[in-house]
Amino acid sequence: MELKQNVIIKIEQDSIAQELGIEAGDILLAVNGQPVKDVFDYRYFTQEEYVELTIRTISGEEYIAEIEKEEYEDIGIVFESGLMDNAKSCRNKCIFCFIDQLPKGMRESLYFKDDDSRLSFLQGNYVTLTNMSEEDINHIIFYHLSPINVSIHTTDLELRKKMLKNPNADKVLEVMERLAGAGIEMNLQVVLCRGINDGAILDKTIEDCVRFFPHTKSMSVVPIGLTKYRQNLYPMIPFDRQESEKVIAQVENWQKKLKQQIDTNFVFLSDEFYLKAQHPLPSCEEYEDFTQYENGVGMLSLLEQEFEQALKDYQQKLPKQKQNILSIATGEAAYNLIKKLCDRVVECCPNYQIYVYPIHNDFFGDEITVSGLLTGQDIIKQLKEKELGNYLLLPESLLRNDTTMLLDDIEIEDIEKELNIPIKITKNTGEKLLCNILDLEEKK
């Protein structure tokens, strides 16, 4: 099998690589005479105090760079591909897959389905463990890629094969057994589909996965996201208020039981269930160490706690006499909380006026309410005639891959031009939100 060329795109300033004269555009052919399959091979081979890199220059010349360094010291090379390999695509055809619900005509990268354990380790992506060869499993164990995130969905193995439409989906518990035996930690995810893997099936899934504890560290349960583009796909019913209340009660019962048995709640619900049920959000303490934060579990509770703490910490710096008018746009799910936090600011700074606008997701449909899936066209359309003040705040979650681009390829600059307003992007922490609202410098 031919290896992907490891093209170097950047050399870190004042690094070993810079001292050796390695340049962007050069290609790494081998480390210590060994071909490099991916980033984990590279890290493993270069951790020693003496390393030999075989380099091919832009002009085609090959040479060996000899390096003496501290053990584990980074050489300072950035590669064209973060994995130094192509990401492995998913061969499942899950009945709940969000990518299958995208409209046609979006940029090609949005339609790529990854199912790569390396991305799970590096970026927190979830893998189903169905597309893994024996070599892949050994790779995880050899390099001790821990923790990894696993999309479990159900441990009813016949149902799992149907949900993922993959005959290998029934091997998941065997693979988990091997990973646990090798000391690999796993965070689990269940995409809950109403009438399919909920109720007694969810009970079985939790019970089966807890037996791998402590190697299974946590489980998140998130509702299926349904867009308006589900034509010719498996029919799904969204969770309503009543069904969401049932799920909350079910998970809370498990949490009480597991807290006594293994001293952790283990299973956690995403914020969406509480919002759909119009149920109070749990306290931050109930989310323990926020292991599943990136999966939308506990985000709003933590944001509120951080914001209130920041109000106290910045009490002496609050611009209580300054006048200012600004606006914030957010997804419908977070609107009530963001409005509450902005009202708290106005209580402390009465000369501030803050307009908070919930953006309805016309692009994806009524069921999609999170800020991270908002599009530029919806923001422009719904704010066009609104009072926006001196600047508009937008959440960082709606930007793609460290760019200034939204899902529909509209740039922040385009929104600024259309609305004739400067835009500030705020990160998803309470302190950063407060500082952006009040134009304060963060404490170090």
Q: Distance of CA 190 to CAs 24, 25, 126, 187, Å?
A: 42, 43, 10, 10
The residue type at 378:
D
Instruction: Please state the length of the chain.
Output: 444
The candidate with the shortest Cα–Cα distance to 376, out of 390, 362, 357, is: 362
Handedness of CA 283, 214, 174, 290 (dihedral sign): positive
DSSP state string for 296-311: TSSHHHHHHHHHHHHH
In this prediction, residue 2 carries a pLDDT of: 45
What gap in Å lies between CA 342 and CA 437, rounded to an integer? 8
| Pairing, β 216-223 against β 186-192 | parallel
In this prediction, residue 149 carries a pLDDT of: 86
The candidate with the shortest Cα–Cα distance to 382, out of 429, 324, 335, 434, is: 335
The domains of the chain are located at 6-79, 99-297, 303-438
Identify the bridge partners of residue 65 per DSSP, sorted by sequence position.
53
Planar angle of CA 314, 315, 319, nearest 5 degrees:
90
What gap in Å lies between CA 190 and CA 220, rounded to an integer? 6
6-79 belongs to CATH 2.30.42.10:
yes
What gap in Å lies between CA 86 and CA 102, rounded to an integer? 23
What gap in Å lies between CA 378 and CA 400, rounded to an integer? 16
pTM higher than the cut 0.85: no
Angle between helices 200-210 and 241-262 (to 10 degrees): 20
Q: Is 5 helix (H, G, I), strand (E, B) or coil?
A: coil
In this prediction, residue 89 carries a pLDDT of: 56
> Which CATH number applies to 303-438: 2.40.128, 1.10.10, 3.40.50, 3.30.2010?
3.40.50
Q: What is the pLDDT along the chain (444 residues), one digit of tens a residue?
A: 345 678 888 899 999 999 999 998 899 899 999 888 777 778 878 888 999 999 999 889 999 999 998 987 889 988 776 544 454 556 678 888 887 888 887 776 665 555 544 444 444 566 778 877 787 788 888 878 788 889 899 999 999 999 999 898 899 999 999 999 999 999 999 999 999 999 999 999 999 999 999 999 999 999 999 999 988 889 999 999 999 999 999 999 999 999 999 999 999 999 999 999 999 999 999 999 999 988 889 999 999 999 999 999 998 888 878 889 999 999 999 999 999 999 999 999 999 999 999 999 999 999 999 998 999 999 999 999 999 999 999 999 888 767 888 988 899 999 999 999 999 999 889 999 999 999 887 765
Residue 290: CB partners within 8 Å, gap ≥ 6?
Answer: 284, 297, 298, 302
Helix (H) or strand (E) segment spanning residue 208: helix 200-210
Residue 222: CB partners within 8 Å, gap ≥ 6?
Answer: 189, 190, 191, 192, 269, 270, 272, 295, 296, 297
In this prediction, residue 399 carries a pLDDT of: 87
What gap in Å lies between CA 365 and CA 349, rounded to an integer? 37
In this prediction, residue 247 carries a pLDDT of: 98
395 upstream amide cis, omega within 30 of 0: no
CATH superfamily of 99-297: pyruvate-formate lyase- activating enzyme (3.80.30.10)
Is 327 within 8 Å of 294 (Cβ atoms)? no
Is 216 within 8 Å of 161 (Cβ atoms)? no
In this prediction, residue 444 carries a pLDDT of: 59
Task: Quote the tokens at residue 170.
Answer: 């029934």
Q: What is the largest CA-CA distance in the chain?
A: 68
Is 166 within 8 Å of 92 (Cβ atoms)? yes
Task: Quote the tokens at residue 268.
Answer: 């956690």
Task: Quote the tokens at residue 171.
Answer: 């091997």
Is 423 within 8 Å of 412 (Cβ atoms)? yes
Q: Order of strands across the sheet with 216-223? A: 126-127, 148-151, 186-192, 216-223, 267-269
Planar angle of CA 405, 406, 412, nearest 5 degrees:
55
